[in-house]
A and B are shown apart, each in its own frame.
Chain A
Amino acid sequence: MEKALIALAAALAVGIPAVATAYAQAKIGSAGAGTVAEKPETGGTIIILEAIPETMVILGFVVAIMLILQFA
């Protein structure tokens, strides 16, 4: 039971930021696609903006790893 709770906590630690990242990337992606269509030279900046929210899920991954290694 305890292991299951730890696994659930780790899954939530990755899952919730993943949903948040997906939401942010969807918003940035749709706006970015419009921007690139208007100004192709902004492609590099858009890739950078698109990649920024990913940090959330990476931090979630670190938390999940810590949870598993500490308590499992």
Chain B
Amino acid sequence: MIRKMIRLALWGVTGKRREIIEELHRLGVLHLEQGSGPSAGESARLNTLRLLRGKTLGLLESLGWDEWTSLSEESINDTEKLLSSLPADELAPEIGKSLEEFGKRLSSLLDERTASEELLLRAKKARDILDRFSAFFRREDGGPQGKTTLWLISENTVQQALAALHGAFSSRGEAWDGRHHFVPGKDFMGVLGLRVSPELEGEASEILSRWKALPWSLPEFCSGVRVEDALAILGKKSETLSERLETISGDLRRASGEWGPRLAALFLFIDARTEQAAVEARLDPSADTFTLHGWIPEDALEATVSALKGRFGDDVLLQWRHPGEKEWSTVPTSLNNRPLCAPFELFLKLLRPPSYSGIDPTTAVALFFPFFSGCMIGDMGYGALILLLSLKLKKAVRPMLRDIGSILLSVSLWSIVWGAAWGEFFGDAGHRLFHLEPLWVERSVSVLPVVVFTVALGAAHVFFGLLLGIYQGVRNSHRHLWMEKAGNLAVLLALVAGLVVLKAEMPRGVFTVPFSLLVIGLALLIAGGGIGGIIETLGSIGNIISYVRIAAIGLSSAILALVASKFLDVFGLSVFGIFLALMIHLLNFVLAIGGSALHSARLHYVEFFGKFYSGNGKEYTPFQRRSGSSWKKHS
């Protein structure tokens, strides 16, 4: 249900504004309304805090720490208590100094890691190249004296370059026996190893340069070393660098484990101070008093007023009132549902919140969603597995996973109930093993009763949606809205009544009832929504038929489970047969969970919500400390 909101106005003494804002932030219930822009003087403090917030976040990212969900309230409160004890003027410089010192230490480690990684990469590349020349080096070591050089050269020109070398030396009558080795690489480039006597070295370089070859050199730490001897040095260096990198990674992991939570708590503290400073910046510091106003849930009003009055006494003046009808569009929407239904609020998070004067459909979703999903899955075995999965998820740290666990728990219970109705336990395994019989029908055989049932279910769901639409229209005095919904409902009821009269072969006189309903419905439709209203009614008929998907998906799930058993019939109780049957069941189980959830959600979003839901509300965002990683969305 939607919480009732109260408009709260607060007047305070300017000298106490910072403390009052801090208290409001601590209480965390007031949805503040934006005032004027920041004043120049206060912006300086705000900018300093923003800078510190950015620095802290930067350090956290450098540390690679992202375990916001594991951050305990206790460590956040301890940090807040410790830092709040510092005088306000010293707070920002002290934090800034500490962050700078930590940042320097962290930077030196990160810089060393980057440099070591680069060197290791270069050493690895050089080793890869030299490895491919090792046979050439061994062969040449036993030959005549000379120097080996390596050149980067295009594969297309290497033969021409070698021919040029040969031609140049042989034309002068000097002997060059063509000692070389070429290793092709990427992008038509390769490395040419050349062994020439010291006298010919200069000329060889000149010729190769003409053919656009570039000399290949060893990394800096191998300077002065012959390429033939570099392989061993590179191997040793790679080992040293790998060890150093492991040490650095260990240091960083330790630093992340030790300092990550502290920095995160510090970040949340600075973030809170920044938010408070942003509110403070909008107030006029030269005036004697300041004003803040916003919305507060009615159930939190008493505690808030007594907390503010208790701490500040006559330094604050509070006034409150209920919102007027004209203000309803500006009131933020806060949902408050019973613990059983609250997890289903997750479905509304994908949409804009309902308007303050609208209807919160969470309870209806909590009733219908597991019912529909369970009807589609309809297998006691799968239901039991989903139950185990949901119990596991309910113990998760992340609140969203716990909510999903609660939703799956309801789905699993309905799956077991529907499994008993269809007589399914891992398909027909229940029937084969314990002679399990359906309480209602076997859906893989008797399709028609299930189809009729799902259409009836759809009609009930759509009618309920239309009733909610009528209620909303009447409550908000939207004449056109309730007339259109009532007309829509009357026409649909007329069609259903007509079908019943026809099927039951009732006397012709009874047709007056559906006919009258049709006339009233059409009149209301045209008065409420004009021609568009009639089109919407046609859409509603389509909406009702759309619920046949519950039968269709259920049927496909039941048949897939039967296919799994058929494998055992074909292959017998062999390892292969059992393996195939398990694989089909696994596939069916995944499809059952995913498909049933998606289609049930669709039936709610499109068919049900379409009849009454107006997602044009404002989200209730109380002025409070942001928890977990919610800052990511806002900062």
B448 touches A51 (CB 8 A): no
B546 touches A69 (CB 8 A): no
B546 touches A47 (CB 8 A): no
B545 touches A59 (CB 8 A): yes
Stretch touching chain A among B236-244, B337-345, B521-529, B600-608 = B600-608
Cβ–Cβ < 8 Å partners of B599 in chain A? 51, 54
Cβ–Cβ < 8 Å partners of B451 in chain A? 62, 65
B349 to chain A: closest CB distance in Å?
8
Interface 1/0 per residue, B598-635 and A, CB below 8 Å: 11011001100000000000000000000000000000
* Residue of A51, A52, A59, A69 contacting most chain B CB atoms (<10 Å): A51
Chain B contact surface mostly: helix
Cα distance A62–B545 in the bound complex, in angstroms: 9
B448 touches A54 (CB 8 A): no
Partner pick for A47 among B448, B545, B549, B605, CB 8 A cutoff: B605
Residue of B nearest to A41 (CB): B352
Cα distance A47–B545 in the bound complex, in angstroms: 20
Interface 1/0 per residue, B528-552 and A, CB below 8 Å: 0000000000000010011011001
Interface 1/0 per residue, B430-466 and A, CB below 8 Å: 0000000000000000011001000000000000000
- Interface membership of B351, Cβ < 8 A: yes
B545 touches A58 (CB 8 A): yes
B546 touches A55 (CB 8 A): yes
Which residues from 274 to 325 on chain B have a C-beta closer than 8 Å to any C-beta of chain A? none
B552 touches A61 (CB 8 A): yes
- Interface membership of B350, Cβ < 8 A: yes
Partner pick for B351 among A44, A55, A61, A62, CB 8 A cutoff: A44
Given contacts A44-B350, A55-B542, contact A61 B605 (CB under 8 A): no
Cβ–Cβ < 8 Å partners of B598 in chain A? 47, 51
A68 to chain B: closest CB distance in Å?
8
- Interface membership of A43, Cβ < 8 A: yes
Residue of A nearest to B447 (CB): A65
Given contacts A58-B548, A61-B548, A62-B545, contact A51 B602 (CB under 8 A): yes
Cα distance A55–B542 in the bound complex, in angstroms: 8
B548 touches A47 (CB 8 A): no
- Interface membership of A48, Cβ < 8 A: yes
A62 to chain B: closest CB distance in Å?
5
Residue of B nearest to A58 (CB): B549
A42 to chain B: closest CB distance in Å?
9
Cα distance A52–B349 in the bound complex, in angstroms: 20
Given contacts A55-B542, A65-B448, contact A47 B350 (CB under 8 A): yes
A29 to chain B: closest CB distance in Å?
13
Cα distance A65–B602 in the bound complex, in angstroms: 23
Cα distance A55–B603 in the bound complex, in angstroms: 11
Cα distance A59–B349 in the bound complex, in angstroms: 30
Given contacts A59-B545, A62-B548, A65-B448, contact A54 B602 (CB under 8 A): yes
Residue of A nearest to B606 (CB): A48
A-B CB contacts (within 8 Å), total count: 44
Cβ–Cβ < 8 Å partners of B601 in chain A? 47
B352 to chain A: closest CB distance in Å?
8
Cα distance A2–B599 in the bound complex, in angstroms: 35
Cβ–Cβ < 8 Å partners of A54 in chain B? 549, 599, 602
B605 touches A48 (CB 8 A): yes
Cβ–Cβ < 8 Å partners of A65 in chain B? 447-448, 451
B176 to chain A: closest CB distance in Å?
61
Cα distance A18–B548 in the bound complex, in angstroms: 15
Cα distance A62–B555 in the bound complex, in angstroms: 13
Cα distance A45–B609 in the bound complex, in angstroms: 12
Cβ–Cβ < 8 Å partners of A69 in chain B? 447-448
Partner pick for A51 among B542, B552, B605, CB 8 A cutoff: B605
Residue of A nearest to B601 (CB): A47
Cα distance A64–B606 in the bound complex, in angstroms: 24
Cβ–Cβ < 8 Å partners of A55 in chain B? 542, 545-546
Cα distance A59–B541 in the bound complex, in angstroms: 12
B555 to chain A: closest CB distance in Å?
9
Cβ–Cβ < 8 Å partners of A43 in chain B? 350
A58 touches B552 (CB 8 A): yes
Cα distance A61–B545 in the bound complex, in angstroms: 11
Interface 1/0 per residue, B567-603 and A, CB below 8 Å: 0000000000000000000000000000000110110
Cα distance A55–B349 in the bound complex, in angstroms: 25
Cα distance A65–B548 in the bound complex, in angstroms: 11
Cα distance A19–B350 in the bound complex, in angstroms: 28
Cβ–Cβ < 8 Å partners of B350 in chain A? 43-44, 47
Given contacts A65-B447, A65-B448, contact A51 B606 (CB under 8 A): yes
Which residues from 19 to 72 on chain A have a C-beta closer than 8 Å to any C-beta of chain B? 43-45, 47-48, 51-52, 54-55, 58-59, 61-62, 65, 69
Q: Which residues of A contact B (CB under 8 A)?
A: 43-45, 47-48, 51-52, 54-55, 58-59, 61-62, 65, 69
Enumerate 23 A-B pairs (CB-CB under 8 Å) in ascending A order.
Answer: A43-B350, A44-B351, A45-B351, A47-B598, A47-B601, A47-B602, A48-B605, A51-B598, A51-B602, A51-B605, A52-B606, A54-B599, A58-B545, A58-B548, A58-B549, A58-B552, A59-B542, A61-B549, A62-B545, A62-B548, A65-B448, A65-B451, A69-B447
Can you list the 5 inter-chain pairs with the closest CB atoms, starting with the nearest? A44-B350, A51-B602, A44-B351, A61-B552, A48-B605
